[in-house]
Amino acid sequence: MDKRVPDQAEGLRRLLARCGSRVVAVTGGSARVGRKSTVVNLAAALAAQGKDVLVIDECVGGHSVPAMLGGVRGLDGAGSTGNFSAVVNGELPLDQAAVRTELGFALLAAPRHHCDGYSATQLGAVLGGPADVVLIDAPLDRLGALSALAVQAHDVMIVTRLAAQAISDAYLCMKRLHYAHAIAQFRVLANHVQSRVDAQVAFENLAGVAGRYLTVLATDAGCVAADPRMARSLELGRCVVDAFPSTPAARDYRHVAAEMLYWPMRPAMSSR
């Protein structure tokens, strides 16, 4: 009963908002904070909870989702990236362009340079499909900006670790995104956490500085425990939610995924 009522409430909120998919752009202030593994694990967790999930992968080659998972059937060749352009041009339905992975979520390769030359309306067609949640693996460009596709997300999640440099990079990430896109609210996920108390203190410090100097709101998206099985799952070409579902990191990803479904649905960033 408890689960059914929130699900109905969420459905009503989405209906009133006249918005289909919840779109979240996942990025990070620096390398090796676990941005891509966060996207894949959240997608797998959401799919396991019965949600229709689409992952849009803006990376190519060795940094792509298929590379992390040891290859995804249907996305092994460079030609598969042409499916994105076909969807934008109205030549191919999204459900045919995206590849369904063994983890239960759909995957669409969309290198950010493929967005060049398309209008916001055309790009929005990629995000307007039947998925409950769209997660965009969204690396920043050299100026710290999102792609024309990722900027249409409802939320931006910044993944960080608790090391001093990673926290500084997360703040710089907020600053660059704020000035590039006038983003006024971010969600912060602390990854590879040894202590939840330390994670909370670090978040509060980061949020305080961001509010004071940037006048932006940082919201705590949760934290994921440091877990040696994370590295082992990557060695196996899998994600920890799938390979080791009972470990602390897997439980944390499932908790964050469940909470995402009840974030207030805000207008897309590009329309604010």
Residue 186 belongs to a domain: yes
Residue 2 belongs to a domain: no
Residue 193 belongs to a domain: yes
Domain count, the chain: 1
pLDDT digits (tens, 9 = 90+) for 222-256: 999 999 999 999 899 899 999 999 999 999 999 99
Range of the domain at 70: 21-271
Residue 16 belongs to a domain: no
pLDDT of residue 80: 57
74 has pLDDT over 60: no
Comparing C-alpha atoms, which of 234, 228, 222 is closest to residue 191? 222
Residue type, 27: T
Residue 215 belongs to a domain: yes
59 has pLDDT over 60: yes
pLDDT of residue 267: 76
pLDDT of residue 48: 96
Residue 12 belongs to a domain: no
pLDDT of residue 123: 85
pLDDT of residue 223: 97
pLDDT digits (tens, 9 = 90+) for 137-191: 999 999 999 999 999 999 999 999 999 999 999 999 999 999 999 999 999 999 9
- CATH number, domain of 43, equals 3.40.50.300
Residue 13 belongs to a domain: no
